[in-house]
A and B are shown apart, each in its own frame.
Chain A
Amino acid sequence: MSLDTTTLLAIIAMAVVTYITRIAGLYVADRLVLTGRAKAAFDAIPPAVLVSVIAPTALTTGWAEAIAAAITAVVAFRLPLLATIAVGVASVVLLRNLL
C-alpha cells in the first residue's frame, strides 16, 4: 500500500487535463469544424504521440529490439492486437538469445 506524493500529483494532473479534453467538446460543438491541413494535423496526434513514446526502445536500444519492432509492424496489419503483442514479445525474446 504505497502512495508516493509526486506520483499522486502526476496522476491528479493527468486526470484533470483528461477531464478538460472530455468536456471541452460540449462547449465548442457548434464552432469546431476542422478541415484540410488543420484536420490532418489533429488526426495525426494519436499516432505521432504513440510512435514518439516507443521510438527510443524500438530504434536505439539494440538490434534485437529494432528487428522485433519491424516484425511486429508487419504482423500488426494482419493480426488482432493481442496476437500482435504476443508475436512482438516472442520475437524479442528469441532475438535477444540469438544476437
Chain B
Amino acid sequence: MTSYKREIRAGLRDIAPVAVAAVPIGLLFGALAAAKGLSPVEVALMSGLVFAGGAQFAATEAWLHPAPIAALTFATLLINARHVLMGASLSPKLKMSRSQQLLAMFFLTDESWALSERRALERPITGAYWAVMAVILWSNWTISSTLGAVLGSFMGDPARIGADFAFTALFIGLVAGFGRSRVTLVTVGVSAAVAALVHYFVGAPWHVASGALAGIAAAYLAAPKEVRE
C-alpha cells in the first residue's frame, strides 16, 4: 500500500465517527434556520461558505429581518477567533506548501484540528489526510443542514414542539463542554447577566457582543496573573 493510500485511509477512519455525529446537528441547524425565515438556498450557502457550526448557530439565533450585517459579522468574528490559535498551532505540522495551506485552512474545524493535533504527535499532517477529512465534513455539513432546512419548512410553528428551545439547550450543552473551572463559571455568570440586561433595556442583537465582551473581561480579571501549569 502506498503512503498516499495509507493517509487517505487514516483520514477516513478518523473522521467517520465525527461525520456520523454531525448529521443530526446539521439537520437541527437547517430546521432552526428555516424557522428563523432562512430559505434552503440561504442555508446551503451559509453552510458551504461559512462552514463553522458554532458561529452559524449563534448568528441564526440572533437573526433578524433584514439581517443586521455588522452585529452578525462581529459575533462571527468573536466566536471564530479561536481559529487563529488553532491555525497557529497546526501550521508547522502541515506538510504542505503555503498555497496548499491557504486552501486547507478554509476547512479548519474544531474536529479536524483536534484529530490532526493528535496525529501530529507521531507524524506530519499530509495533504491527502487533511483533504479526506475536509471533503467529508464539508459535504456532510452542507448536505445535512440544507436537508434540515427543507424538512424544517414543513415543520410549522417550532414553538409547538419546543423546537425553538433546541438552540438554548444545544448551547447549554456546548458551554458545559468548557468545564466548571472558576474562571469559566465567572465568565458564564457575567456574560449571562450582561446579555440578559442589554437585551431587556437595549434590544437584539447587541446583547451578543456586550455579553461576550463583558464575559471575556471578567475572565481576564478572574484569572491568576501568573501562569500556573
- The residues of A with any CB-CB pair to B shorter than 8 Å are 1-4, 6-15, 17-19, 21-26, 28-29, 32, 34-60, 65, 68-69, 72-73, 76-77, 81-82, 84-85, 87-90, 92-93, 96
Contacts and interface: CB of A to CB of B under 8 A. Distances in A.
A47 B46 CA distance: 22
A57 B80 contact: no
B91 interface: yes
Nearest to A77: B176
18 contacts: A2-B42, A4-B66, A11-B46, A19-B106, A23-B105, A25-B90, A25-B105, A26-B88, A37-B223, A38-B220, A45-B78, A47-B188, A49-B79, A50-B174, A51-B211, A54-B168, A57-B167, A88-B170
B132 interface: no
Interface residues of B, number: 103
Contacts of B98: 26
Given A14-B72, A47-B175, A72-B168, A89 B162 contact: yes
A44 B82 CA distance: 10
